[in-house]
C-alpha cells in the first residue's frame, strides 16, 4: 500500500514539473501587435544580443544601468563584473535564437521575457542551452537602461540547429 501511495505521489510530482517551465505560447510579436514602447524594448533587446555576440562592451556599458544585476547559472553579479566577463571572453554570448518575446509595461518600467536557445562559449567550451531570459528596463530622462538580466534554464530540449 505504501509503495502505491509513493508511486502516485511521484507520478503527480513528475506531471506537475513537466508543466512548470513551459515557455509562453506567444510568438514574437510584430509591430502591429505592440505599442511603440513595447516594440522599442523588443528592438533594444535584440540589439543587446547582437552587442553581446560582438563583445561590444562600450555599447553595453551605455545600456546597463550602474546598479544593474545579472543572474546566470553560475552566479550573480553587477555591471562591472558582467562587462569584465564579456570583455575577457569568460562568457561569449555567441548566438541567441529567439523563439518568443513578451513585454509588459509598468509605467517607466518594462519587463521582457525571451524564450531563447543561447549558444555560448564558456571557459573555452561551446554550450547551447534553452533559457527563459527576463530583462528589466527602466526609462529615465527619456532613455531606456537595463536594470536586470536573468537566465532561467528551461526543461525543454534545445531547438537551435548549431550547423548554421
Q: Tell me the β-bridge partners of 103.
A: 112
Cα dihedral 25, 162, 63, 47 sign: negative
54: helix, strand or coil: coil
φ/ψ of residue 22, rounded to 5:
-75, 135
Residues of the chain with pLDDT under 50: 2-31, 164
Residue 136: what pLDDT? 98
DSSP state string for 87-115? HHTSEEEEEEEEEEEEEEEETTEEEEEEE
What confidence score (pLDDT) does residue 161 get?
82
Q: Tell me the whole-structure pTM to 2 decimals.
A: 0.79
Q: Spell out the residues 6+ positions from residue 52 whose beta carbon is closer than 8 angstroms to its own.
A: 60, 86, 93, 96
User: In the structure, how many helices (H) and strands (E) does the chain have?
Assistant: 4, 6
Q: Give the per-residue pLDDT at 37.
A: 95
The DSSP code for 161 is -
Residue position matching grid coordinates 501511495: 5
Beta strands 91-106; 109-122: pairing state? antiparallel
Rounded Cα distance between 155 and 23, Å, is 10
Per-residue pLDDT, 116: 97
pLDDT of residue 85: 93
Could you tell me the domains of the chain?
22-153 (3.10.450.50)
Q: Please report the pLDDT score of residue 10 as a whole number.
A: 38
Residue 162 pLDDT? 63
Strands across the sheet containing 64-72: 75-78, 64-72, 143-153, 125-140, 109-122, 91-106
Amino acid at each position: 500500500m505504501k509503495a502505491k501511495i509513493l508511486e502516485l505521489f511521484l507520478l503527480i510530482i513528475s506531471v506537475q514539473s513537466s508543466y512548470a517551465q513551459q515557455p509562453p505560447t506567444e510568438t514574437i510579436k510584430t509591430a502591429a501587435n505592440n505599442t511603440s514602447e513595447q516594440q522599442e524594448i523588443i528592438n533594444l533587446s535584440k540589439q543587446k544580443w547582437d552587442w553581446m555576440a560582438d563583445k561590444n562592451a562600450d555599447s553595453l556599458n551605455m545600456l546597463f544601468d550602474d546598479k544593474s544585476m545579472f543572474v546566470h547559472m553560475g552566479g550573480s553579479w553587477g555591471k562591472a563584473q558582467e562587462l569584465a566577463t564579456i570583455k575577457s571572453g569568460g562568457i561569449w554570448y555567441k548566438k541567441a535564437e529567439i523563439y518568443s518575446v513578451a513585454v509588459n509595461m509598468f509605467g517607466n518600467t518594462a519587463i521582457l521575457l525571451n524564450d531563447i536557445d543561447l549558444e555560448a562559449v564558456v571557459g573555452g567550451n561551446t554550450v547551447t542551452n534553452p533559457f527563459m531570459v527576463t530583462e528589466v528596463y527602466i526609462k529615465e530622462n527619456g532613455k531606456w537602461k537595463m536594470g536586470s538580466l536573468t537566465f532561467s534554464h528551461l526543461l525543454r530540449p534545445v531547438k537551435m540547429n548549431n550547423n548554421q
